[in-house]
Amino acid sequence: MGRSAMESSSEEELEDDFPGHEWITPQSSIRAAYQSQTEKGIRKICSELLELKDAIENLCGNMQSKYHAFLRISEEVVEAEQELIELQKHVSAQGMLVQDLMSGVCRELEMWQKYSREEHAVEKDFESELNEILSVGTQDPKAIFLDKLDILLAEHKIEEALLALEAEEKKYMVTDNSGKESDTEISAYKTALLRRKSTLEDQLVRYSEQPSLSITELRKSLSGLIKIGKGSVAHQVLLKTYGSRLQKNIEGFLPTCSVYKETYSATLSQLVFSAISKVFNESSTLFGDSPTNMNRITQWAEYEIEVFARLVKENSPLLESDAALRSACICIQTTLAHCSCLEIHGLKFSKLLMVLLCPYIEEVLDLNFRRLRRKIIDLARDDDILLLTPQEGSPPSGAVAPKMTLTSSGKKFMSIVNDVLDQVTPMTIVHFGGTILNKFLQLFDRYVEALIKVLPGPSEDDNVVESKEPVEFKAESDAQQLALIGTAYTIADDLLPAAVSKFFDMQKDKKGTSGPNQGLGPGSVYSTEYKEWKRHLQHSLDKLRDHFCRQYVLSFIYLEGKSRLDARMYLEGNKDDLHWDSDPLPSLPFQALFGRLQQLASVAGDVLLGKEKVQKVLLSRLTETVVIWLSNEQEFWDVFEDKSIQLQPSGLQQLILDMHFLVEIAVCGRYPHRPVQQLVSVIITRAIAAFSARDVDPQSALPEDEWFLESAKAAIHKLMLGTSGSESDLEVPVALHDEMSDSEESTSTASTVGSEDSFASANNDDLESPVYFTDPEA
């Protein structure tokens, strides 16, 4: 307080000291202003808090009142339920009273009709005459019968009314009323009967359409319609009733389609075709084999089949999934089986079914195989694509060696194929087997493209689709590359044909009984011949083989150093350097080629164990690829056409010796050498023409052909024994057969080299017998 007083006094002194400065706000004014604002804020907050307190108290009071109201309403509901029960009992009692009253009235009416003798005037019109017949004052039996029939119809005693009406019609037909009744009376009575028949018909139709009606009761009702001459209506009611029941069963099953993704189509098929079969059986039992009724059943069944096909498509799983493929195959199998059962009775729906389902099945197949092709492409990016795994199970045929191993990619490919084959059914094979076989060809071709991307070297095949994503894993070594190629050949030659053998077995069985293509579409299994299918597989293998050989040969041709294959090497020699009187050797590049082929053959013998045919094919194609490159490489021949360069006869001799050496490599390897021989002949002719144009006389420069043949054989013999004096000059290591036995070394001579064991370790049984370029006895 003292401090506050001091401050206020000091402020007053300041105000007294500076009285003339109006622009200075006194401290007391500032404090008074802020103090008033703070008090206002506090008062406002207090008022709001009080209002909030009142609102909360009101809310609590409302909650309590509403809770009491809820309890009161609950009690009222219980009381209302009790009142409803009492009211129900009262209604039941009143119903019994009404029923008793009706019975009493009926008895009174009968008594009144019996004892009443009052007659009514007969009017001229048709309706008056009918009323006379129905007059209660007469004892006419027709009137009595009509009254009795009316009572039965009113009480919905359908069976009794039907029996009475049938008995009356028979009685009326037997009794001769000629002369006793007028034509008008007879016509009126017939009209009365027809009206009651119409009423009975309506009751029978409504009774038949009841969902809870049993089959036995339905048959009785339809029989009643037939008895009153309404067979056509009865047949329509039969179709309508079974159609509504089928629709109800389908609506009850549809919510479970998402659970039973693979078998929902079979269940739908069972529901539809069992209904068709039941309708046919009931129709035959009740109505007989009428062509008109058969047409109606056919039209009704075709409509239900169209609905079935639409439901199969609408409730299908994702079309590119395994479940969709399995479901589609099961659908074809079950529906066609049902159709074959109905065809015994003359109901043929197979063609209609295939027309409706073919687009759906083909779309499922197409999307599934697209997914599998993407899966095949992903194999090229797997880090275990080069991993060798033992072949599981027994070999599918005798052509597969027991010790043959598959790469991981081959095993995955066959797993993909087998997954598809596990889904297909016999009927799927019959109608879509050709399409599936063609899809397998596309899968294998895509698999080959994936392998080509894994092999080193750029792809020069325009048909191979280049992947935009880089392939991280390459088969660098010869063993890895041969393993991939061997796997592809094993799949194409043995595993894939064995996996789809049931397709072609069906084809043979069908051809042995009847025409194969009768009633089947272009995608059936009978549209694809085995030889043509195998030819397409071989075409894919040829792409893989040619790519491997091309990149392998190009890597050899463009080596740096003396082993590089260049036409200028035929310009540097002279006759004295060739040592023609001793044992000439081919040029260094061809010696290196022979060494690389030996090395590759040795690796192939281990990796491609049991695949001698594949070894021969690869080595033959490698040799052929070298010759093709020489024949087509224009830069190679431009050197000989350059007039600024002096050509020597020794260069022509060396070139021809190299060509004969290539032929002898093929002969010694015991693989097909005719293509090599033909290409070599063209190259030699072209070389002679090129040198002749440069004033080199081939007649004087070239020895006899036998000399080239013997020199080539001797060169191969020397290189195989490792005795070449030029071997140390090779820049590329030449892997020779170091493990050759002593007996082979002692018996191998230049004259017998043509019949020695092949460096490919291949038998001569798989391919054509070797035809030697020269006489084997030479």
pLDDT in tens, 284-307: 988 888 889 999 999 999 999 999
Q: Which residue has the tokens 């087998």?
A: 418
| Residue, of 419 and 728, whose pLDDT is higher | 419
- What distances in angstroms separate CA 774 from CA 43, 703, 759, one per listed residue? 126, 16, 20
* Closest among 682, 677, 557, 550 to 622, alpha carbons compared: 550
Residue 594 in contact with residue 755, Cβ under 8 Å? no
Q: Given this model, what pLDDT does residue 537 score?
A: 95
pTM for the complete prediction?
0.68
Q: Given this model, what pLDDT does residue 731 score?
A: 35
Torsion angle, alpha carbons of 223, 227, 228, 229, to 10? 100
Give start and end residues of each alpha helix (H) in 182-321: 183-208, 215-227, 231-253, 264-287, 291-314
Residue 587 in contact with residue 720, Cβ under 8 Å? no
Answer whether residue 771 shows pLDDT above 90.
no
Q: Given this model, what pLDDT does residue 116 score?
A: 59
Which residues touch 350 (CB under 8 Å, ≥6 apart)? 336, 339, 340, 343, 519
Question: What are the pLDDT digits (tens) for 540-565?
Answer: 999 999 999 999 988 878 876 667 88
User: What is the Cα–Cα distance from 361 to 364, expressed in whole angstroms?
Assistant: 5
- 578-586: which pairs have CB atoms within 8 A and are 24 or more residues apart? 578/650, 578/653, 578/654, 580/653, 580/703, 583/711, 583/714, 583/715, 583/718, 584/657, 584/711, 584/715, 585/715, 585/718, 585/719, 585/724, 585/726, 586/654, 586/657, 586/658, 586/661, 586/712, 586/715
Answer whether residue 70 shows pLDDT above 70.
yes
Amino acid identity of 778?
A: A
Number of neighbouring beta carbons within 10 Å of residue 110:
15
In the chain, pLDDT over 70 holds for what percent of residues?
Answer: 71
Q: Given this model, what pLDDT does residue 173 score?
A: 57
Residue 137's pLDDT band (cuts 50, 70, 90) = very low
Q: Given this model, what pLDDT does residue 446 score?
A: 94
Answer whether residue 441 shows pLDDT above 80.
yes
Question: What are the pLDDT digits (tens) for 473-503?
Answer: 677 888 889 989 999 999 999 999 999 999 9
Rounded to the nearest integer, the mean pLDDT of the chain is 77
Q: Which residue has the tokens 């890895």?
A: 480
Residue 769's pLDDT band (cuts 50, 70, 90) = very low
User: What is the Cα–Cα distance from 273 to 673, expressed in whole angstroms?
Assistant: 64
Q: Given this model, what pLDDT does residue 517 score?
A: 53
User: What is the Cα–Cα distance from 631 to 44, expressed in whole angstroms?
Assistant: 107
| Residue, of 153 and 518, whose pLDDT is higher | 153
Answer whether residue 140 shows pLDDT above 50.
yes
Amino acid identity of 118?
A: E
| Residue, of 9 and 351, whose pLDDT is higher | 351
Q: Given this model, what pLDDT does residue 45 score?
A: 92
User: What is the Cα–Cα distance from 747 to 291, expressed in whole angstroms?
Assistant: 91
Question: What are the pLDDT digits (tens) for 228-267?
Answer: 778 888 899 899 999 999 999 999 999 999 899 999 999 9
Helix (H, G, I), strand (E, B) or coil at 463: coil
Q: Given this model, what pLDDT does residue 128 score?
A: 56
Q: Given this model, what pLDDT does residue 732 score?
A: 36
Choice among 184-188, 541-545, 672-676 with the minimum mean pLDDT: 184-188
Answer whether residue 142 shows pLDDT above 80.
no
User: What is the Cα–Cα distance from 205 to 222, expressed in whole angstroms?
Assistant: 8
User: What is the Cα–Cα distance from 244 to 530, expressed in whole angstroms?
Assistant: 49
Amino acid identity of 534?
A: K
Q: Given this model, what pLDDT does residue 389 score?
A: 56
Q: Given this model, what pLDDT does residue 197 score?
A: 75
Amino acid identity of 470?
A: P
Mean pLDDT, rounded, for 111-125: 54
Answer whether residue 4 shows pLDDT above 70.
no
Q: Given this model, what pLDDT does residue 208 score?
A: 81
User: What is the Cα–Cα distance from 243 to 571, expressed in whole angstroms?
Assistant: 94
